[in-house]
């Protein structure tokens, strides 16, 4: 005797179910397909979709032992297969967990300073999905930055869980509650062992057929990562056995990066204001370890026919009476999938796939991380009033134009992002930090949305070009702006390549300093003009030589002083004229010699007085 029923919340239809099939796989939503008949013709099938539904399957095994399975979820599909105006119409229904609704919301979203458990838990809470984590906190560190990029909430959740080694299943004894676990010790152990019997209708909880298989699997995992605060990439490996060169190699930039503290701290307080994101060797070791565990867990498979309905994915159980030592001797098995098919008029079949429970279980890596093959545009952000917001490594924060999340702290719209510069050496190179409000182009290492890098800058309506175009199209420039406040101040070097008007121009808004380690040479092919609005000082520690090929004129509109600490020699090959419009005083503190090779004329308009302290000779 068997009974199968479907209850649709808030719907008057009470269909008579004829057959069903249930497919459950660990770390995937279950799928229940139902075939039903009803005298009612439903005009609005769409009203069923998304409503709560409960499926009940119950049968008597012929020995007075009732078997029952109750699955609670939502109606994911309602289908009219055959309409009969005067008879029974045929309908098809599909049930899935509420979790499947997450596949209907695709978006881009940034999560910061959270663990995988925290991110997944917050998304499940948004959807109102009852869940329970059975995880070990120390295995799941906090991450600086995780991005959901053009993927559904379901795909994002599954991708994070797979990477963290967390599998999930549904506890149908608790209204199909979602259970998430990273350790088989937290799995439910079926209290009654299943007995292996070679009978078609046993009177105990039994396994009627069993197949055990092993396949070739990866024996070693090598994981390599690079973090910019380390001199070289870091690599770790884990081995199961080393007889065969079966190796799984993975290089994922940022794979080992976790937040080791939160809040201000560390030797770089600006970079670590929200947490010190560093490469963690222990986390990289865990990644390699999980890759080996994943391969080892899926290398063994057990396929069983059973007569019970309570062996679901995520359940551990024991089979007794089987001759193989890996099955008997109280060895645990972990159910990884079930296929149940039945009808009201036929025998039900219950097929279970399991893996050996003597090893950790990790879900397969089935959900691929999205790759961003092109660059994206974003705007540099910072605190109110800050024009240049950076950390000790020259990194900036941005807000992507697709990011519509409301934020009170705009400067935390992203993680700190490294900026590609024209040259980067050991304490030397080029440096131009993008400023708040500027548009930048962001690329992604290996296409990973979690690994952004600023690759370029863009002008836009808010930040126009520095020279009017197309009139000034021959100018190539490097122009900055005074900060804070701007105010029209700037420094600039530009090159104008207009034919016959070529120009190299340099503007210093305030001071200009040059430091030449050795020689400096200038060559001016034509005129040179220098205008100094204030003082001019020349300091020459050794010799100074000046050669003027033609005339030289010096005009001093104030006083002129000259002090020579050594000898002063002048040689004039032509005439020399000195005109003093007022008094002139010559003082020689020691001897004075004057030699005239030709005539000497002295004209005195007034008196001539001479005072000689010694002899006078003519």
Residue (of 180, 50, 21) closest to 115 by Cα position? 180
Would you place residue 185 in the very low, low, confident or very high pLDDT band (cuts 50, 70, 90)? confident
Mean pLDDT of the chain: 90
Largest CA distance in the chain: 158
Q: Which of 245-254, 527-536, 554-563 is predicted least confidently? A: 245-254
Position 532 scores a pLDDT of 92
Structural contact between residues 180 and 166, judged by C-beta atoms closer than 8 angstroms: yes
Taken in order 158, 162, 163, 166, is the CA torsion positive or negative? positive
Q: What mean pLDDT comes out for the span 504-520?
A: 94
Structural contact between residues 315 and 190, judged by C-beta atoms closer than 8 angstroms:
yes
Q: What is the mean pLDDT of residues 140-161?
A: 97
Give yes or no for a contact between 44 and 86, defined as CB atoms under 8 angstroms apart. no
Q: For the residues 303-329, what does the mean pLDDT come to?
A: 90
In whole angstroms, give the CA distance from residue 77 to residue 64.
35
CA 566 to chain centre: 70
pLDDT tier for residue 530 given thresholds of 50, 70 and 90: very high
The predicted-structure confidence for 210-249, as pLDDT tens digits, reads as follows 999 998 887 788 899 999 998 888 888 776 665 667 888 8
Reported confidence tier of residue 397, pLDDT bands at 50, 70, 90: very high
Q: Residue 36 and residue 50: Cα distance in Å, rounded? A: 18
Beginning with the edge strand found earlier in the chain, give each strand of the sheet holding 131-134 in spatial order: 131-134, 177-181, 167-171
Residue 39 and residue 23 in contact, taking contact as beta carbons nearer than 8 Å: no
> Can you give the length of the chain in residues?
618
349-353, 422-426, 455-459, 586-590: which has the minimum mean pLDDT?
Answer: 586-590
Spatial contact of 335 and 354, defined as CB atoms under 8 Å apart: yes
* pLDDT for position 184: 87
Q: Report the predicted TM-score, pTM, of the whole model to 2 decimal places.
A: 0.87
The pLDDT, as a whole number, for residue 446 is 94
| Higher-pLDDT residue of 200, 322 | 322
Residue 573 clears pLDDT 90, i.e. is over it: no
Locus of tokens 């309409």: 83
What is the structure's pLDDT at 354? 95
The conformation of residue 448, written as its DSSP 8-state character, comes to -
Higher per-residue confidence, 397 vs 87: 397
Structure tokens given for 317: 């159980």
Banded model confidence at residue 71, pLDDT cuts 50, 70, 90:
very high
The alpha carbon dihedral of 296, 297, 298, 299 has a sign of positive
Angstrom distance (rounded) from CA 534 to CA 589: 35
- Given a cut of 90, whether residue 84 has pLDDT beyond it is no
Please report, to the nearest 10 degrees, the dihedral formed by the alpha carbons of residues 279, 282, 288, 292 taken in order: -170
DSSP state letters, 115-130:
EHHHHHHHHHHHTT--
Do 280 and 144 meet the contact criterion of CB atoms below 8 Å apart? no
| Measured distance CA(512)–CA(497) in Å, rounded | 24
DSSP state, 155?
Answer: H
Among positive and negative, which fits the CA dihedral 565, 566, 570, 576?
Answer: positive
What CA–CA distance (Å, rounded) separates 24 from 340? 9
Instruction: Render pLDDT for 9-47 as a digit per residue (tens, 0 to 9).
Output: 877 667 788 999 999 999 999 999 999 988 877 768 888
DSSP, collapsed to helix, strand or coil, labels residue 283 as: helix
Helix intervals (H) in 221-352: 281-299
Which runs of consecutive H residues, i.e. helices, occur in 94-204? Answer: 116-126, 153-164
Choose among 65, 73, 67, 99: nearest CA to 6.
73
Categorize the per-residue pLDDT at 62 as very low, low, confident or very high, splitting at 50, 70 and 90: low
**Pick from 394-408, 413-427, 434-448, 570-584: least confident:** 570-584
* Nearest Cα to Cα of residue 70 among 176, 169, 170: 176
Q: Is 427 left (phi over 0), alpha (psi -120 to 50) or beta?
A: left
Query: How far apart are the C-alpha atoms of 378 and 438, rounded to whole Å?
Result: 8
At residue 1 the predicted structure's pLDDT band, cuts being 50, 70 and 90, is low
Which one is predicted more confidently, 108 or 188?
A: 108
Q: What percent of the chain has pLDDT over 90?
A: 61
Pairing of strands 106-115, 234-239: unpaired
Cis omega (within 30 of 0) for bond into 470: yes
Residues 36 and 79: their CA atoms lie apart, in Å, by: 10
Element of type H or E holding 164: helix 153-164
234-239 sheet: strands from edge to edge: 234-239, 220-225, 247-251
What pLDDT does 235 receive? 80
Query: Taking the chain, what is the end-to-end CA distance rounded to the nearest angstrom?
Result: 157
pLDDT tens digit string along 423-435? 999 999 999 999 9
454 neighbors 418 (Cβ within 8 angstroms): yes
Which domains are present in the chain?
2-96 (2.30.110.50), 101-182 (3.55.50.10), 185-252+291-370 (no CATH), 376-458 (2.40.50.230), 475-507 (no CATH)
- pLDDT tens figures, 245-279: 788 888 988 999 999 875 555 688 999 998 899 99
The CA distance from 398 to 145, in Å, is 13
Does the pLDDT value for residue 476 go beyond 90? yes
Q: How far is CA 142 from CA 52, 117, 132, 363, 500, in A?
A: 35, 9, 19, 21, 62
Contact 151, 192 (CB under 8 A): no
At 599 the pLDDT is 87
């Amino acid at each position: 005797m068997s009974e199968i029923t479907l209850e649709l919340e808030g719907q008057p239809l009470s269909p008579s179910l004829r057959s069903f099939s249930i497919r459950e796989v660990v770390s995937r939503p279950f799928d229940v397909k139902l075939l039903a008949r009803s005298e009612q013709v439903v005009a609005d099938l769409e009203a069923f979709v998304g409503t709560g539904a409960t499926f009940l399957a119950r049968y008597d095994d012929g020995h007075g032992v009732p078997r029952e399975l109750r699955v609670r979820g939502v109606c994911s599909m309602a289908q009219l297969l055959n309409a009969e105006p005067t008879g029974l119409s045929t309908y098809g229904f599909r049930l899935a967990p509420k979790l499947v609704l997450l596949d209907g919301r695709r978006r881009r979203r940034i999560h910061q300073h959270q663990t995988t458990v925290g991110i997944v838990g917050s998304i499940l809470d948004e959807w109102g999905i009852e869940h329970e984590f059975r995880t070990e906190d120390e295995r799941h560190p906090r991450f600086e930055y995780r991005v959901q990029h053009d993927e559904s909430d379901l795909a994002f959740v599954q991708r994070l869980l797979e990477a963290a080694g967390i599998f999930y299943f549904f506890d149908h004894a608790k209204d199909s509650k979602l259970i998430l676990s990273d350790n088989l010790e937290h799995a439910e152990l079926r209290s009654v062992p299943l007995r292996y019997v070679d009978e078609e209708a046993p009177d105990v909880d039994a396994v009627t057929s069993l197949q055990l298989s092993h396949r070739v699997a990866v024996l070693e995992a090598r994981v390599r990562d690079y973090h910019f605060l380390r001199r070289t990439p870091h690599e770790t490996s884990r081995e199961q056995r080393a007889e065969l060169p079966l190796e799984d190699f993975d290089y994922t930039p940022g794979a080992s990066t976790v937040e080791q503290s939160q809040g201000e701290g560390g030797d770089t307080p600006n970079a670590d204001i929200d947490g010190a994101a560093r490469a963690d060797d222990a986390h990289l070791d865990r990644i390699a370890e999980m890759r080996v565990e994943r391969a080892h867990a899926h290398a063994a498979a057990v396929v069983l026919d059973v007569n019970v309905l309570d062996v679901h994915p995520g359940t551990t159980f024991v089979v007794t009476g089987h001759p193989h030592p890996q099955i008997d001797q109280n060895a645990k098995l972990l159910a990884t999938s079930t296929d149940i098919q039945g009808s009201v008029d036929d025998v039900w079949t219950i097929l279970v796939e399991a893996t050996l429970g003597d090893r950790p279980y990790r879900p397969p890596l089935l959900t691929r991380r999205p790759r961003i093959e092109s660059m994206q545009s974003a705007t540099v952000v910072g605190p109110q009033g800050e024009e240049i917001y950076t950390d000790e490594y020259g990194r900036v924060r941005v807000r992507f134009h697709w990011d519509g999340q409301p934020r009170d702290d705009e400067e935390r719209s992203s993680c700190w992002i490294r900026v590609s510069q024209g040259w980067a050496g050991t304490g030397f190179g080029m440096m131009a930090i993008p400023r708040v409000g500027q548009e930048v182009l962001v690329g992604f290492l290996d296409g990973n949305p979690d690994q952004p890098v600023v690759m370029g800058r863009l002008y836009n309506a808010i930040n126009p070009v520095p020279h009017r175009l197309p009139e000034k199209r021959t100018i190539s420039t490097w122009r900055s702006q005074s900060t804070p406040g701007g105010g029209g101040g700037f420094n600039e070097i530009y090159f104008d390549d207009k034919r016959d008007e070529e120009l190299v121009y340099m503007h210093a808004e305030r001071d200009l300093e040059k430091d030449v380690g050795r020689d400096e040479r200038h060559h001016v092919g034509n005129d040179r003009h220098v205008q100094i609005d204030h003082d001019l000082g020349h300091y020459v520690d050794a010799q100074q030589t000046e050669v003027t090929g033609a005339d030289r004129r010096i005009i001093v509109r104030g006083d002129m002083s000259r002090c020579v600490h050594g000898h002063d020699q002048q040689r004039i090959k032509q005439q020399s004229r000195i005109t003093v419009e007022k008094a002139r005083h010559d003082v020689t503190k020691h001897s004075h010699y004057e030699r005239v090779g030709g005539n000497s004329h002295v004209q005195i308009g007034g008196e001539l007085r001479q005072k000689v302290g010694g002899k006078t000779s003519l």
